[in-house]
Amino acid sequence: MSDMSRIKTFNLPDLGEGLTEGEILAWLVKVGDTIELNQPIVEVETAKAAVEIPAKWAGQVQAIHHPEGTTVEVGTPIIAIDTDPGAGPLDAPSTTATPTGDLPTPSAASLAAVEVAPAEGMIEPGLIGGAAPGGRTAVLVGYGPRTTAAKRRPRKGAVPAQAEAPVTPAPVAPQPVTPEPARTGNGGPVTGGLVLAKPPVRKLAKDLGVDLSTLTGSGPLGSITREDVQRAASGSVAAAEPVAVTSTATSAASFGADREQRIPVKGVRKLTAENMSRSAFTAPHVTEFLTVDVTRAMKALERLRGRREWRDVRVSPLLLVAKAVLLAVKRHPMVNSTWAGDEIVIKEYVNLGIAAATERGLIVPNVKDAGRLSLRELADALNGLVQTAKSGRTSPADMSGGTLTITNVGVFGVDTGTPILPPGESAILAFGAVREMPWVHKGKVKARQVTTLGLSFDHRIIDGELGSKFLRDIGDFLADPEAALLAWT
């Protein structure tokens, strides 16, 4: 078997629902490991879930192309596997594997074919492909560094370069060349190259009269921080105006980029933002509210928990809300539908979504064909769904195909809300907190268990009458579950 046929490159697969990229959370193998077929090799976070990807081949790991924390597109090579390691060592190092030990001496022809990268400093600042801090040039595997000019706004006061005139690098002289001093944000010369400092730090230095070029930065990559400027200013505070300096420093310390946190939008957060924006500005939302006395429903739950066959099952008010929604859908099928442009698709199955807040963001897994389940089966399905979501192991399949959703905002102590429809669904119910409140019951004011429901629906499909009747039926079930079951089933 040839070396080329032995080395198999594993590309990031499409994990479902047309996902385009994923972030490598953790590698479960390392270079040199022997792996088996279908052995999990990497954990990847997509826009919907964190999943472990199994190996397509057995063999030995030759190379890992992307480190943990890297976001790669679907179809990008992520790992190389030698499928026949017992056949002996590879004849020559390949582009997908980096063997350890001494490398063979390259031939003259191979050296001639290599394009030598320019020495550090030969690429002008602002060109993509220039040396990164530490002398590295960061490029993807299989791609050379780009030397196209980066688009950047010119600095204030800078002289624009002439695009017509090619720049010829000056020959390197044996003696050091002293360049013309550049200027910092406060007007001082830069004696050791470009001074690294954030705009708020430069402004503070200008206000305090500190020359940044005279400071040694203590920040990342030698950058100058606010503390460096303030320490330098404290040494010459007697020569400055104390009142003005103190006032300016206090004002500058109140705001600034160094007191801001920037979080990359990716994964679940990115998908949620896209879906909510698309839904909010596509489907005309209407939200109605209903406050319900659920005292009888809470008592029914207590009796259910006391039954022998239910003692090992976690029973929550959400179970009765889910059952109420499923029964109301049978009475009003149009609610369980999708707007498809020139037609409305009414679905005879209910994939009941349950919005869940996780460490990775909001996800909405769903119970498939929930209307066919018994109450006990529905309880088991809901409990399993919630536990899987909390552990971060919800699969993309569990989050696809939802037809109607419940969001239980009551667990956060919130009375209700105006939820946004998941794309492709026509209704979503917000279930608020159950509270003990004064309520008129049988002509007297008594303390009763009360909750508020909020139903958002797509007004293209569901008009006010249908939405009101659907919400009323859910409330009727929660007000008296036993009577509703007898009447509707």
Least confident of 20-34, 237-251, 364-378: 237-251
pLDDT of residue 314 exceeding 60: yes
- Cβ 340 vs Cβ 351: under 8 Å: no
The pTM of this model reads 0.56
Q: Provide CB contacts within 8 A for 179, sequence distance 6+.
A: none
- Cβ 318 vs Cβ 408: under 8 Å: yes
pLDDT of residue 26 exceeding 70: yes
3-state class percentages of the chain: helix first, strand second, coil last, to nearest 5 = 30, 20, 45
Query: What is residue 271's predicted lDDT score, i.e. its pLDDT?
Result: 73
Least confident of 307-311, 407-411, 431-435, 460-464: 307-311
Catalytic residue (one of 66, 285, 441, 459): 459
What average pLDDT does the chain have? 77
Counting other chains too, the contacts that 206-212 makes at CB distance below 8 Å and 24 or more residues apart are 207/245, 207/248, 207/249, 207/252, 208/232, 208/233, 208/240, 208/245, 208/248, 208/249, 209/233, 209/236, 209/240, 210/186, 211/184, 211/186, 212/184, 212/185, 212/186, 212/188
Please tell me which of 46-60, 171-185, 267-281, 404-418 the model is most confident about, judged by mean pLDDT: 404-418
- Residue range 136-157: mean pLDDT, rounded: 43
Backbone angles phi, psi at 424, to 5 degrees: 90, -5
Backbone angles phi, psi at 356, to 5 degrees: -130, 130
Told to judge if 459 belongs to the known catalytic residues of this protein, a careful annotator would answer yes
Q: Provide CB contacts within 8 A for 158, sequence distance 6+.
A: none
pLDDT of residue 262 exceeding 90: no
- Confidence band for 274, pLDDT divided at 50, 70 and 90: confident
What is d(CA 115, CA 48) in angstroms, rounded to the nearest whole number?
A: 42
Backbone angles phi, psi at 411, to 5 degrees: -65, -15
b/e for 55-72, b at 16 or more Cβ within 10 A?
beeebbbbbbbbeeeeeb
Q: Which residues pair with 212 in a beta bridge?
A: none
Query: What is residue 467's predicted lDDT score, i.e. its pLDDT?
Result: 96
Q: Provide CB contacts within 8 A for 189, sequence distance 6+.
A: 181, 182, 183, 213
Say which DSSP state 116 is in: P
> Comparing 229 with 473, which gets the higher pLDDT?
473
pLDDT of residue 92 exceeding 60: no
